[in-house]
Structure 1
Amino acid sequence: MARQLDYHTMWQIFARFRESEPEPKGELEHLNAFTLLVAVALSAQATDAGVNKATRTLFKIADTPEKMLALGEEGLTDYIKTIGLFRQKAKNVLKLSRILHEQYGGKVPSSRAALVTLPGVGRKTANVVLNMWFRHPAQAVDTHIFRVGNRTGIAAGKTVEVVERAIEDNVPVEFQLHAHHWLILHGRYICVARKPKCGACLIRDLCPYEEKTF
């Protein structure tokens, strides 16, 4: 685990990320806040590509909690059975849809405290929805961000919670909104787990990682 980087280095790193990709986007396809919430919930222990393949058809007929409830468990299962843990995920999606319908008028709440009370929605899922839909500078730490944060010193920490706080505390405020997307994409395509592509890395001269590959 690298030591936490200083402010000047952090600013340089995120300035480069911003110059390379000014408006980074999440890769989960969605139509509104509800379909985003469902997509993120379905993506646990699954790939974004796999979720997108299943939800493209699903969201055409069930883009609200009410329409999702009308499908029922077996109907929903037919659409998402290619996704890992699909049976439990189907139950959770229907439970959260009922709660949204009965308690929130069919709308997705914009507070983390409310979101994490929904079945199948943890802090990471809540943060993704807050960031991508409500444009709140929430930091959803996944395995990519955890690896990149510790390998580079951008956000050093032994737990997901510590890494999340390190991003919030140390990334300059003007980069907070897009920080987690830049880090996810960097980890997914460049700073990969087994053999990072350091030769193609736009921050390699600022990164203290000792086992660089070229």
Structure 2
Amino acid sequence: MNAEKRRQIFGRLRDANPSPTTELVYRTPFELLIAVILSAQATDKSVNKATAGLFAAASTPEAILALGEDGLKTHVRTIGLFNSKAKNIMKTCAMLVSEHDGEVPRNRQALEALPGVGRKTANVILNTAFGEPTIAVDTHIFRVANRTRLAPGATPLAVEQKLLRHVPKEFRKDAHHWLILHGRYVCIARKPRCESCLISDLCEHPDKLSASPG
């Protein structure tokens, strides 16, 4: 895919949604961090349902530590893998208090040192909470980047690196949100909605027409 086509794709996505953001509900970088940790292999809707009660009861590292692991689990037990996620959240809160004065760090190395935080989660925090031009490659973005040929790659890291190289600078900060929303609602895994896709004519997926629902 050439540079002009990529520019057109992001130009259309921007025109359709000038201010994209996450569908996770949060008020602070810390709440976003907890929500993203909980969102692994879970829907944003299920996370928002759980965190509504959790954040009303405890919205800081200190407050979650005061809840205790069992208290935390009462709020997140509806989410898949809640036992391991609760353990990681408790450890993360302890590290935030002991090493970062209770604040979410703004650099990748410190973020990835937190239990339950990998490269993808760090990218989400850097981008969404702090406005950094990072791109977190989840299953939706991996699929869209490969299917459209926007930034094909065999691994999430390869796709991320290619996107960072090829996405025009003016679109880089919001590219993560445009691509994840496009993958979640239009370029879905089974039977992509090619007939309602605003970048269909720019997409280089060879089977896009036959893949569209009848």
TM-score by length of 2: 0.97
Answer yes or no: is the 8 Å Cα contact 1:31–1:63 preserved in 2.
no
Rounded to whole Å, the distance in 2 between the matches of 1:139 and 1:210 is 26
Rounded to whole Å, the distance in 1 between the matches of 2:22 and 2:150 is 20
Q: Which residue of 2 aligns with 1:131?
A: 127
Q: Which residue of 2 aligns with 1:18?
A: 14
Rounded to whole Å, the distance in 1 between the matches of 2:56 and 2:122 is 23
The one-letter code sitting in structure 1 at the alignment partner of 2:89 is V
Higher RCO structure (Cα 8 Å, ≥6 apart): 1
Answer yes or no: is the 8 Å Cα contact 1:66–1:106 preserved in 2.
yes
**Is residue 173 of structure 2 the alignment partner of residue 177 of structure 1?**
yes
Aligned length: 210
**Identical amino acids, percent of aligned pairs:** 55
Rounded to whole Å, the distance in 2 between the matches of 1:210 and 1:97 is 47
Q: Of residues 48, 53, 75 in structure 2, which corresponds to 1:52? A: 48
The one-letter code sitting in structure 2 at the alignment partner of 1:87 is N
Q: Which runs of 4+ in 1 moved over 4 A?
A: none
Rounded to whole Å, the distance in 1 between the matches of 2:3 and 2:57 is 48
Does the residue aligned with 1:22 lie in a helix, a strand or coil? coil
Answer yes or no: is the 8 Å Cα contact 1:190–1:197 preserved in 2.
yes
Pairwise CA distance, 1:112? 0.6
After superposition, residues 156-171 of structure 1 pair within 5 angstroms as: 156-171=152-167
The one-letter code sitting in structure 2 at the alignment partner of 1:211 is D
Rounded to whole Å, the distance in 2 between the matches of 1:193 and 1:87 is 29
Rounded to whole Å, the distance in 1 between the matches of 2:189 and 2:68 is 39
**Is residue 48 of structure 2 the alignment partner of residue 36 of structure 1?**
no
The one-letter code sitting in structure 2 at the alignment partner of 1:59 is F
The one-letter code sitting in structure 2 at the alignment partner of 1:132 is T
The one-letter code sitting in structure 2 at the alignment partner of 1:169 is R
Rounded to whole Å, the distance in 2 between the matches of 1:175 and 1:141 is 16
**Is residue 3 of structure 2 the alignment partner of residue 7 of structure 1?**
yes
The one-letter code sitting in structure 2 at the alignment partner of 1:120 is G
**Is residue 116 of structure 2 the alignment partner of residue 117 of structure 1?**
no
Q: Which residue of 1 aligns with 2:64?
A: 68
The one-letter code sitting in structure 1 at the alignment partner of 2:110 is A
Q: Deviations over 1:95-131 (max 9, x none)?
A: 0000000110000000011000000000000000000
Q: Which residue of 1 aligns with 2:201?
A: 205
Query: What RMSD in Å do the two structures reach over aligned CA positions?
Result: 0.7
Ranges in structure 1 where 5+ consecutive residues have no aligned partner:
none
Q: Which residue of 2 aligns with 1:27?
A: 23
Rounded to whole Å, the distance in 1 between the matches of 2:77 and 2:57 is 17
Q: Of residues 136, 142, 149 in structure 2, which corresponds to 1:146? A: 142
Rounded to whole Å, the distance in 1 between the matches of 2:72 and 2:22 is 24
Q: Which residue of 2 aligns with 1:86?
A: 82
Does the residue aligned with 2:200 lie in a helix, a strand or coil? coil
Pairwise CA distance, 1:31? 1.5
